[in-house]
């Protein structure tokens, strides 16, 4: 009986040891290949290096779109990848990996919206043993819809202000609406209302700003949205309504200096009637 038990247990142990063997190649090479592929627009090659869990969350199309928007809104001038640690049996994105190697990616980016000012950005990337192969896990990709929404919001801001893009309220509206298709963010709704106001689309501007107020997640955001609503009415020369929203903005955040200045101006115009 013991002899048969030995033959049953031994192969299981060998299989277990095989499952824990280190994947071929080096994690450092994998992360370098991934970053280089993303930077050069080789999205298919970069996508192939992602973990199965990330691929289940992120479609190739969304991955390519997110990278395209980031490249459009900032040019990488320099980049440094540093290995910062490694761990056994670490959980990332709800998945337990037997081996995880962590890297820090530090980038110098030229920001077209800020007169091509160079800014520093950094973030982690992980190379993990994913079923016997080294694969890349990016925390930023765990919620790619939000990532894309933020990039479209940034693009809309560039069109609305004429910073980094040719000024166009119509293109700004289009970008903000695309952003909202991916995720409804109060700031995007607020920016959309301003773009509508620039196009003299008063009803659309009020509707977007009102929705921004109702979806705001904190008093500071709510105050900004109420102030914007006041500005829309102010520009429509309804100074009484504008004054009401500026006051509501200050109730939400007494430190909002824009609302305080706007309220003072609205009071002057209301009293002069």
How far apart, in Å, are the Cα atoms of 272 and each of 260, 262, 266? Answer: 19, 16, 10
Q: What's the confidence (pLDDT) of residue 1?
A: 38
Ranges of each domain in the chain? 22-142, 146-271
Fold: same for 22-142 and 146-271: no
Q: Which CATH number fits domain 22-142: 3.40.50.970, 3.40.50.720, 3.10.450.100, 3.40.50.300?
A: 3.10.450.100
Whole-angstrom Cα distance, residue 166 to residue 69? 16
Rounded to two decimals, the pTM is: 0.86
Q: What's the confidence (pLDDT) of residue 52?
A: 98
Is the CATH number 2.10.60.10 carried by domain 146-271? no
Residue whose pair of structure tokens reads 């030229």 in the numeric block? 110
Q: What's the confidence (pLDDT) of residue 3?
A: 35
Per-residue pLDDT of the chain (273 residues; tens, 9 = 90+): 333 333 334 344 333 433 456 899 999 999 999 999 999 999 999 999 999 999 999 999 999 999 999 999 998 999 999 999 999 999 999 999 999 999 999 999 998 888 889 999 999 999 999 999 999 999 999 999 999 999 999 999 999 999 999 999 999 999 999 999 999 999 999 999 999 999 999 999 999 999 999 999 999 999 999 999 999 999 999 999 999 999 999 999 999 999 999 999 988 877 655
Whole-angstrom Cα distance, residue 64 to residue 41? 8
Residue whose pair of structure tokens reads 């037997």 in the numeric block? 98
Q: What's the confidence (pLDDT) of residue 272?
A: 59
């Amino acid at each position: 009986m013991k002899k048969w038990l030995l033959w049953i247990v031994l192969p299981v142990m060998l299989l277990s040891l095989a499952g824990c063997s280190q994947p071929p190649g080096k994690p450092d090479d994998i992360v370098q290949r991934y970053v280089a592929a993303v930077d050069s627009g080789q999205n298919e090659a970069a996508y192939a290096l992602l973990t199965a869990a990330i691929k289940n969350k992120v479609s190739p199309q969304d991955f390519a779109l997110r990278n395209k928007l980031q490249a459009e809104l900032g040019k990488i001038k320099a980049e440094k990848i540093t290995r910062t640690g490694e761990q056994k049996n670490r959980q990332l994105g709800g998945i337990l990996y037997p081996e995880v190697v962590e890297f820090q990616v530090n980038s110098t980016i030229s920001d077209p919206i800020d007169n091509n000012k160079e800014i520093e950005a950094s973030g982690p990337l992980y190379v993990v043993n994913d079923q016997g192969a080294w694969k890349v896990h990016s925390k930023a990709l765990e919620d790619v819809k939000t990532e894309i929404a933020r990039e479209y919001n940034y693009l809309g801001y560039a069109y609305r202000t004429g910073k980094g893009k040719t000024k166009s309220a119509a293109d700004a509206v289009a970008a903000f609406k695309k952003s909202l298709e991916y995720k409804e963010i109060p700031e995007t709704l607020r920016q959309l209302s301003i773009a509508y106001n620039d196009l003299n689309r008063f009803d659309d501007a009020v509707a977007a700003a009102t929705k921004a107020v109702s979806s705001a997640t904190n008093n500071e955001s709510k105050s900004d949205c109420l102030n914007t609503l006041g500005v829309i009415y102010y520009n429509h020369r309804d100074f009484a309504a504008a004054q009401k929203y500026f006051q509501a903005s200050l109730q939400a955040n007494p430190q909002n200096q824009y609302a305080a200045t706007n309220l003072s101006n609205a009071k002057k115009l209301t009293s002069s009637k």
